[in-house]
Amino acid sequence: MDQTRFTPDLDLDGLSPNEAFAILGNEIRLEIIRVLWRADAAHEYDDGSDTANTMSYSGLQNEVDIDDNGKFNYHLSQLAPHFIRRTDDGYRLSGAGKQIARTVIAVSGTDRLDFSTEIEDDCPLCGAHVEATYEDQWLRIRCTECDGLFGDQAPTGTLFLTSYPAAGMTTRNPDQALATGLYRCALDITYMMYGICRECAGHISSSVTVCEAHENHRGEPCATCGTPFSVWADMRCDTCGFAKRLPVEMFATGLAMATGLIDNQELDIHSPSFEEAVSLLQSSVETTVSKGPLRASITIEGETSTFTITLDDDMNVVDLDRRLQSETAPS
Among 34, 86, 214, 322, binds Zn ion (CB under 5 A): 214
Among 76, 143, 186, 267, binds Zn ion (CB under 5 A): 143
x-or-dash string of contact with Zn ion, 242-281, rule CB under 5 A: x---------------------------------------
Sign of the alpha-carbon torsion through 64, 32, 163, 254: positive
Among 100, 123, 250, 311, binds Zn ion (CB under 5 A): 123
Q: How many residues bind Zn ion (CB under 5 A)?
A: 20
What is the DSSP code string of 92-161? EE-HHHHHHHHHHHHH---S---EEEEEEEEPTTT--EEEEEEETTEEEEEESSS--SSGGGSSTTEEEE
- Measured CA distances, 219 to 73, 130, 301 (Å): 64, 16, 22
Instruction: Find the part of the chain contacting Zn ion (CB under 5 A) among 3-11, 47-55, 175-183, 223-231.
Output: 223-231
Q: Which is nearer to Zn ion, 28 or 210 (CB)?
A: 210
CB atoms within 10 A of CB 9: 9
- In angstroms, give the least distance from the CB of 196 to Zn ion: 9
Rule CB under 5 A: say whether 60 interacts with Zn ion: no
Sign of the alpha-carbon torsion through 166, 168, 169, 174: negative
- In angstroms, give the least distance from the CB of 204 to Zn ion: 8
- In angstroms, give the least distance from the CB of 231 to Zn ion: 9
- In angstroms, give the least distance from the CB of 68 to Zn ion: 38
Instruction: Find the part of the chain contacting Zn ion (CB under 5 A) among 71-79, 222-230, 261-269, 291-299.
Output: 222-230
Q: Which is nearer to Zn ion, 20 or 200 (CB)?
A: 200
Closest CA to 255 of 316, 163, 315, 188: 188
CB atoms within 10 A of CB 181: 25
Rule CB under 5 A: say whether 295 interacts with Zn ion: no
d(Cα 248, Cα 154) in Å, to the nearest integer? 16
- In angstroms, give the least distance from the CB of 87 to Zn ion: 30
Residue ranges that bind Zn ion, judged by CB under 5 A = 123, 125-126, 128, 143, 145-146, 197, 199-200, 202, 211, 214, 222, 224-225, 237, 239-240, 242
